[in-house]
Amino acid sequence: MAWYENRIHVDDLEKRTRLYEKLLLGKIDEYNLEIRVLNSSDEYKWVKSFSKAVKESEGQSVKKIIHTLVDISNEKEKTFEVEALKNKLKELDTKK
């Protein structure tokens, strides 16, 4: 997992690490998180990270973890554009 952790944006690493540790310890069963991950072109992409612990039975230790990443970069970019436009409108409104 070290290769993956080295690719997570520094601002997202602590939160992801904290949730992953809780998952390993059985304190939570799953988590969903939006983080930035460095891709093979050395560009950060926004991804939705889904992780779920699999146990033999309730109360048992974690046997394995299922982990999926979904690229949400386009959606995040549109969200940032909308926020920038909202801020610009507020600015114009306060200048009246």
pTM (two decimals): 0.77
**Is 1 a residue whose pLDDT tops 90?**
no
**Bridge partners, residue 46, by sequence:** 36
Q: Measuring CA to CA, which residue among 27, 34, 28, 23 is closest to residue 64? A: 23
Structure tokens given for 16: 């992801």
| Domains of the chain (ranges, CATH numbers) | 2-94 (3.30.450.20)
Are the CB atoms for 72 and 34 separated by under 8 Å? yes
pLDDT in tens, 35-91: 999 999 999 999 999 999 998 877 788 899 999 999 999 999 999 999 999 999 988
> Phi and psi (nearest 5°) for 19?
-65, -40
